[in-house]
Structure formats: structure tokens, C-alpha cells
Structure 1
Amino acid sequence: MKLHRWVSVAAIGAGLAVGLGAFAAHGLKTILSEYQLAIFKTGVNYQMWHSLALLSVCGVASRLSSRCVAIVSWAWLLGVVAFSGSLYLLALTSWQWLGPVTPIGGMSFLVGWAALAIGAWRAKC
């Protein structure tokens, strides 16, 4: 995917995190338990941090290999979908089978961070 598309993905992810955070704070606080609300907010936090991190990677992408940018970007996108998405659904539904999906997203985040560390080391950023 081209760099400008990743910037768009990052911006959409961050915007959605803001919207979902507001929705949780105002629309869900009377519906969900404190525990469920905390789960939902964890998803929002990870989504926001990784959207901002992706935007930061786009800023230094010219110093990294295109392969590195692709691995980091796709890993973090998968992480947001699997980690944050599963937490949103766990908080809003009783689908306990989603529990094992969350660590897959966490591992995707870690793969992305490792790829960024290795790519930056090689590029001497």
C-alpha cells in the first residue's frame, strides 16, 4: 500500500478511537459494567496509540525500507483489528470465544514494534 494510504489509515484509526472513546464515556457508561467499560477503554487506548505510532512511522518512512514500512503497518493494522476489535466485542457482547483473539492482536503489535526496531537499526535512523 502506498504511504499516503497508510497516513489515511492512521488518521481514520485515530479518529475512530476518539469517537469510540466518547461513545464509551457517554453512551455506554450506563449500559456496561465498570469491568466491561474498562475492557472497551483498553481497546480504545491501544487503537489510539497504534494509530499515532503508524502516523509517526509514515513520517520517517523515507529513511526505512519499503518492506519494513509494510511489515510494521500491516502488523499494527492487524493488531488494532484483532486486539481492539475483540475487546470492543467482548465488552459489548457475551462472546467469550473472542478471548483468544485478543492475544493474536497483541502479538501483531509486538511484531510491528520489533520490525520497526530492526528496520530503524538497519537504516540508522
Structure 2
Amino acid sequence: MFWALGSIYGATAVAFGAFGAHGLKKRAGMDAQKLASWNTAAHYQLVHSGMILLTAAAAPKNKVAAGLFAAGITCFSGSIYLLTLDPQRFRALGPVTPIGGLFLIGGWVALAVGSRGRILPKAS
């Protein structure tokens, strides 16, 4: 499940990044700060999509880390996308962004704790 989710999040990160670079620039009222926020969301989504894939491959039993990365992408990047597109309509999502950031941090911590000191997988 996490492999598919990481792949979908990765593909949509590229699509959202392209939309930000091309489509949003043409929207009236889209200032440089909003474009920068959109790009940050796409960047974090892409990086953490890769982490979901890496976790699914290298630490498949660490569902906590993969789940936290997925929740973090949804909350962090998702809220930024919506706030960039329509800040008045989605203003209630403002507090969701830092919660998503905490989920992303939690995913990294879960990887560290789940490794139990291992840096590389044991050779078979």
C-alpha cells in the first residue's frame, strides 16, 4: 500500500510543481510569496514521497514512519496548496500546516527509532 501511495504522491508532486511553475504564474493576483509557498509544498511532497518509497523498500515493517510521512504530506503540502489557491476559503487550514510538519519530523524520528542502531541492512 505504501509503495503505491508514495508513487502517487511522487507523481502528483511533479504535476503540482509543473502547475506552480506554469499555471499559477498566469493567475491574476499570484505574487512571488504565494509561488514560493507552492514550490515549498511541492518540494516537501516530492522529498517525502521518496521517503515513503524508501521506507516501504528498506523498512517495510515500519508502518509508523511511512504513515507519518503520508499524513505529513497530506497535512503540510495539502494545506499549503489550498491556502495558496484560496486563502479566504481555506483559512481554517492554517494550523494544519505546522501539524503536518510535525508529522514529517515524526516520520524521520520513527525511522531512527525503528532502526535500533542499524545503519545498513544486514547482508544475507
Q: Which residue does the alignment assign to 1:24?
A: 20
Deviating beyond 2 angstroms after TM superposition, the runs of 4 or more aligned structure 1 residues are 121-125
* 1:113 to 2:70 alignment: no
Give ranges in structure 2 of 5+ residues lacking alignment.
none
Q: CA deviation at 1:73?
A: 1.0
Q: CA deviation at 1:61?
A: 2.2
Amino acid at match of 2:56: C
Q: Which residue does the alignment assign to 1:43?
A: 41
Q: Which residue does the alignment assign to 2:70?
A: 77
**Do the aligned residues in 1 keep the contact of 2:56 with 2:66 (CA within 8 Å)?**
no
Amino acid at match of 1:14: G
Give ranges in structure 1 of 5+ residues lacking alignment.
none
Bigger proportion of residues as helix? 1
Q: CA deviation at 1:123?
A: 5.3
Q: CA deviation at 1:58?
A: 1.7
Amino acid at match of 1:110: I
Cα deviation, 1:8-53, whole Å, max 9, x if unaligned, reads: 1111000000000111111111212111111111110010000001
Q: Percent identity between the aligned chains?
A: 38
TM-score by length of 2: 0.87
RMSD over equivalenced CA pairs, Å = 1.4
Q: CA deviation at 1:91?
A: 0.6
Between Structure 1 and Structure 2, how many residues are aligned? 116
TM-score by length of 1: 0.86
Q: Which residue does the alignment assign to 1:98?
A: 93
SS of the aligned residue for 2:26 comes to coil
